[in-house]
Amino acid sequence: MLFQYSMCNLKMLKMNWLSKMFKERSDVEPLATDLKVNQQLMADPARVPENLFVDNEQPIPEREYISDSENEANIQSFLNQDFFGKGYKDGYDYHSNDILQSYVKSIKTDFRLKLDLLIDLKRRKVLELKNQHIEVEGLSERLCQQVDALTSDLNLTIERLEKEKELSALDEGWIMKAVHNYRDGFFRGLEIFQEERFIAISTGLFN
């Protein structure tokens, strides 16, 4: 009876750990999903050391921790902004090419900073998985293979995010639409400003 109770506790600890490890996997565009691997891990009956699932470290306060999903949501929210409207307002108010270039640069810089935060979190997860592979090595070959598969998936995601940083310098990739919309809005705002100015001059308002 005591042995069954211990086994039950161990399984519950394992489920809790796996749930914590994989509950926040969502991507901005097709950032690779780990749902299938997660389900396989959850179903694996292999016994592992209890200390693998017990977190003795002090928890990080919520306000100091930003999850993968929160960072991905921040990137998506950033890209979904009304950049045309922002560009229109700036073009109408400032009508300067220097302002245009400055704001476009700012958009790309903010985007890359958000990518850097997400990349850093993905790399931390890769390190955690490598440590977990060491813990279960020799105990469950199947679990080791599944952890390796998830590590490989995370590394591919990191490569994709790094590529997006490079593409952003060329106004391509995910940032392309945002930059183009801002420019289109800026030129439209500038055009409206010039039209209103021309009308004002032609009617003698500035005479």
The 10s digit of each residue's pLDDT in 106-125 is 999 999 999 999 999 999 99
How many structural domains comprise the chain?
A: 1
115 located within any domain: yes
Range of the domain at 81: 67-207
5 located within any domain: no
pLDDT, tens digit, for every residue of 65-100?
456 778 888 899 999 999 999 999 999 999 899 999
31 located within any domain: no
User: For the ranges 40-44, 93-97, 122-126, 185-189, which has the lowest average pLDDT?
Assistant: 40-44
Residue 63 has pLDDT above 80, yes or no: no
150 located within any domain: yes
Q: Which pLDDT belongs to residue 45?
A: 41
Residue 135 has pLDDT above 60, yes or no: yes
Please, which pLDDT band fits residue 206 given cuts at 50, 70 and 90?
low
Residue 26 has pLDDT above 50, yes or no: no
Q: Which pLDDT belongs to residue 197?
A: 85
13 located within any domain: no
51 located within any domain: no
User: For the ranges 78-82, 177-181, 197-201, which has the lowest average pLDDT?
Assistant: 197-201
Q: Which pLDDT belongs to residue 126?
A: 95
98 located within any domain: yes
Closest C-alpha to 136, from 2, 59, 36, 21: 21
Query: Average pLDDT, whole number, for the chain?
Result: 76
Residues 6 or more apart whose Cβ sits within 8 Å of residue 156:
32
205 located within any domain: yes
